[in-house]
Amino acid sequence: MAFTICTWNINSVRLRADLVAALLREEKPDVLCLQETKSPVDKIPFPIFEQLGWKYAQARGEKGYNGVAILSRIPLEPVEHVDWVGKGDARHVAARLPGGEVVHNLYVPAGGDEPDVATNPKFDHKLKFVDQMAAHFEGQDGEAVLVGDLNIAPGEDDVWSHKQLLKVVSHTPIEVEKFEAARARGGWEDVVRKHLPEGKLYSWWSYRARDWDAADKGRRLDHVWATPGLAARSQSARILREARGWEKPSDHAPVFVTFGE
């Protein structure tokens, strides 16, 4: 079964339910994976999305922080999530599509400001999280897609300035090394770069820039990975940069990948 999947860090699904609805109406991704929903599951406005045809959902949430949700117009079966680093937080939700493909929707910790595990427990948490991702998916069987805000921009062309970001959390060498190890050990392929191999590519621009569009100091923090069989079916990828310019936007843009039969 062919499908288009989209991943989007929405930064509050309740505040931006109208933006989610606009994306569903205008872009019609079969499966929409949201991060930073910042809402208990029972307060997510699912009826708005159901009315538009996205009547299947799997979500995990907490009050105020984190939170991940999968909205779908094709049926979903629940799949057990992982309690990464034993924190009991809502950073992973998973579901199975009718074709048997498993969708993993992840929100990797941002990691704080200082890239030093000795002084910054958030950075330690982030590195442990990515290490556990590597171990967890190693030797997996079946087809799967892993999407989400992975909070790491691995390549030189995934940031506005490789040199100026080498000591900035999200692009430090230790993060990039662990990120690539997690991807390789899980047998994942980066199906966004597969289809958009050349040039700068960003999915996030800080709220703090005076003019995010003109300054264009972005980073590619949001990713779509697929297992080899599914990656072979991938047909195209796209980042909806214009969504960053919508009224009261998320600081992340939606990332899409289309898979064929």
Partner DNA sequence: ATGGTAGTCGCACTA
Q: In the complex, which residues of this chain contact DNA (CB under 7 A)?
A: 11-12, 14-15, 38, 62-65, 109-112, 122, 151, 207-208, 248
Q: What is the DSSP string of 123-185?
A: HHHHHHHHHHHHHHHTT--S-EEEEEE-----SGGGBS-TGGGTTSTTS-HHHHHHHHHHHHH
In the complex, the smallest distance separating the C-beta of residue 79 from DNA, rounded to whole angstroms, is: 24
For residue 9, how many other CB atoms are within 10 A of its CB?
24
CB 253 within 8 A of CB 29: no
In the complex, the smallest distance separating the C-beta of residue 71 from DNA, rounded to whole angstroms, is: 17
Q: Where are the beta strands (DSSP E) in 111-214?
A: 144-149, 189-190
* Between 90 and 144, CB nearer to DNA: 90
Distance, CA of 136 to CA of 139 (rounded, Å)? 8
* Between 119 and 207, CB nearer to DNA: 207
* Between 108 and 145, CB nearer to DNA: 108
In the complex, the smallest distance separating the C-beta of residue 123 from DNA, rounded to whole angstroms, is: 10
Distance, CA of 244 to CA of 255 (rounded, Å)? 12
In the complex, the smallest distance separating the C-beta of residue 93 from DNA, rounded to whole angstroms, is: 17
In the complex, the smallest distance separating the C-beta of residue 39 from DNA, rounded to whole angstroms, is: 7
* Between 122 and 185, CB nearer to DNA: 122
In the complex, the smallest distance separating the C-beta of residue 110 from DNA, rounded to whole angstroms, is: 4
User: Could you tell me the CA-to-CA distances from 91 to 1, 139, 207 in Å, in that order?
Assistant: 27, 22, 22
Distance, CA of 165 to CA of 153 (rounded, Å)? 10
Distance, CA of 220 to CA of 239 (rounded, Å)? 10
* Between 109 and 186, CB nearer to DNA: 109
179 residue type, one letter: F
In the complex, the smallest distance separating the C-beta of residue 168 from DNA, rounded to whole angstroms, is: 10
According to DSSP, residue 13 is labeled: T
Tokens in use for 58?
A: 């799997």
* Between 63 and 162, CB nearer to DNA: 63
CB 56 within 8 A of CB 79: no
* Between 99 and 112, CB nearer to DNA: 112
